Amino acid sequence: MIPLLGRRLLATIPTLFGVLVVAFLLLNVVPGDPVAEMVGERADSATIARLRAELHLDEAIPVQFGHYLWGVVRGDFGRSYITQRPVLGDLAERFPKTLQLAGAAMLLAATCGIALGVLAAIRPGGAIDRFSMLIAYVGISFPVYWVGLLLILLFAVALRWLPPSGYGGIAFLVLPALTLGTRSIAFLARMTRGAMLEILPTDYVRTARAKGLAERRVIGRHALRNALLPIITVLGLDVGNYLTGSILTETIFSWPGVGRYVLLAIQKRDLPAVQGSILFLSVVFVLVNLLTDVLYAKADPRIAYD
């Protein structure tokens, strides 16, 4: 396993370098002047020229990229034009909040999605099966922003049970976690149901039942464990998406995470903040995929990585 981790980590270096190059070039060809966003329209030309020189924006694109690449190698992602703080400091402050939201959404999705899929597979065609598939179709069909706004109207405006937005205790976490996890609940329910329907008729499950094992143990220890591989795949992709693609959810609920930070940086054309965030989230996504590979081997010892 250790050689596998070493090879995978080495393989991420060209991937992250490619992400860095693409993000840098795309952001530098986007119309707009970040210095104008910083100082406003009333600043004099001398101030603008001085700031452009300090930020190396008056140099050629390859030279700018060289400055930025050298900073990244030294662990310096630059300083945000808007907050005037190191980008890594901003990310370190906001990422735990995104991690909190992603963890709550993943826990909700895994619990509800896997439970619905297992119950649906035990009695296919029954009431629970039809209900779980209805939930799956609804969750897949509705976009995230629509689900978020609907939940706010229902639970915050009409019923007044939960706060509509902001950051605080568990009450503030419920609606954004449910919004972010809705699609995952749907995918996990369908994936778990399909995997369980393939496993339940197999010989070893029938043998376990013939030995007199309790049905709960047959389902949990023999059937569900062997159906975990596709479920782990969905969970691994979803966790990466939670951590890297929660911009809409964090914006709708004013959640002070990395997604909202990236959106504000794009609006203000804060190049170091956007570039640093993209590189940071790419590292997170790669590490999550690596962890998913490790969980494969733990879930099914038959898998061997050469």
Q: What is the pTM of this model?
A: 0.79
CATH of the domain at 223: 1.10.3720.10
What single string gives the DSSP state of each residue in 153-201? IIIIIIS--S-SS-S-SHHHHHHHHHHHHHHHHHHHHHHHHHHHHHHTT
Provide the greatest CA pair distance for the chain: 86
| Domain match, 62 and 116 both | no
Query: What is the structure's pLDDT at 283?
Result: 84
Whether residue 55 has pLDDT greater than 60: yes
What distance in Å separates the CA atoms of residue 33 and residue 155, rounded to the nearest whole number?
Answer: 42
| Domain match, 251 and 159 both | yes
Contact status, residue 273 vs residue 81, Cβ threshold 8 Å: yes
What is the pLDDT of the chain when averaged over all its residues? Answer: 81
| Domain match, 130 and 169 both | yes
Task: Give pLDDT tens digits for 207-223.
Answer: 888 888 888 888 877 78
Contact status, residue 74 vs residue 223, Cβ threshold 8 Å: no
What distance in Å separates the CA atoms of residue 195 and residue 176, rounded to the nearest whole number?
Answer: 29
Total of domains in the chain? 2
Cα 234 to its chain centre, rounded Å, is 12
84-88, 240-244, 301-305: range with lowest mean pLDDT: 301-305
Domain that holds residue 117: 95-299
pLDDT bucket at 152, cuts 50 / 70 / 90: very high
For residue 81, is it within any domain?
Answer: no
What distance in Å separates the CA atoms of residue 162 and residue 172, rounded to the nearest whole number?
Answer: 7
pLDDT bucket at 153, cuts 50 / 70 / 90: very high
For residue 46, is it within any domain?
Answer: yes
